[in-house]
Amino acid sequence: MDKGPYPKIARLYTDVPEESLERLQLFRERYPYQAATLDGIEWRYIDSGSAKPALLVLAGGTSVAEVSFLSLEHFTERFRVIAPDYPAIEELDQLFSGMIALLDHLGVGMFYLMGGSYGGWMAQSLVRFYPHRINKLVITAVGAPDRHNGQEIARLMGWFRITPTFLLRKMLDRSFSRLETKRTENPDLALLWALVKEVLNFRLGRADILAMLQRLVDQTENFEFTPSDLEDWQGKILIVFGSADPATPPEKRSAMQELYPQAEIIVFDGGEHGIAITHQEAYFSVIDGFLAG
């Protein structure tokens, strides 16, 4: 894999197996980023471009779609996968109206929706904004939008807005490190965390980081989440957890079950935050079966 002329970035991939690097490179060649400017906002996105049913995959906290390339690659076998990066948009209504405008631009009507971690938070709001466009929803590795977390971020936003970019990046790096899967038998884990660190330290700009944080404030300050929100929605929900994921301890898993009483819930024993890799075969099998049903 060509890691370019940047030695600091190349060093992040020192321990990544060559086979994993080649897989990422092949994915980038097969599904290069595309761009569309809609209402003055540039959207960068991956689109597998087929006539199959559409699956919109929302990025995690890195804001960059290709970090989930292993999942995107898998689902392209059965779906037209559309995975946008998040533009530096701070308000949820503007973010989601832009996503729907992008799907309209691409000729997509109804779609399946999937989001993990931060993307799972965004997915929980998007389905409430546009339930009439969504057939099924898959949420992984995240709990319900956290009002306390949003209040803490809101309290610190003034400080974040004057904090040097390198310190904001370090803050995010520490947050992601707490979620890093400790298991080492899967070589793709090394690639995942190297790619995360590249994005956090070299590709995310200041506006991207601030927007990512402010969206969580907007989500918990301005929107309520109750079990009755989707009672008239005809779609189906699958929620996937790892039992050892620090982001979803038992009390958060229970809260999600209460918030989504209609959902099918799967918990992978021993699974950490990176269940899409450590439990890859079973993880994909469960989601494939749900989306096909």
Residue-level pLDDT at 51: 85
Run means of pLDDT, 10 residues per run, the chain, 293 residues? 65 89 94 98 96 95 95 96 98 98 98 97 98 98 94 96 95 85 71 91 94 97 94 96 94 97 96 90 96 91
Domains of the chain: 7-292 (3.40.50.1820)
List, for residues 222-275, the tens digit of each pLDDT value.
999 999 999 999 999 999 999 999 999 999 999 999 999 999 999 999 999 989
Residue-level pLDDT at 182: 61
Whether residue 187 contacts residue 276, with contact meaning beta carbons closer than 8 Å, is answered with: no
Whether residue 131 contacts residue 235, with contact meaning beta carbons closer than 8 Å, is answered with: yes
Cα torsion 143, 145, 146, 150 to 10°: value is 140
* Main-chain phi, psi angles of 111, to 5 degrees: -155, 160
Residue-level pLDDT at 186: 72
* Main-chain phi, psi angles of 159, to 5 degrees: -70, -40
List, for residues 209-218, the tens digit of each pLDDT value.
999 999 999 9
Burial of 97 by CB count in 10 Å (0-12 exposed, 13-18 middle, 19+ buried)? Answer: middle
Residue-level pLDDT at 2: 46
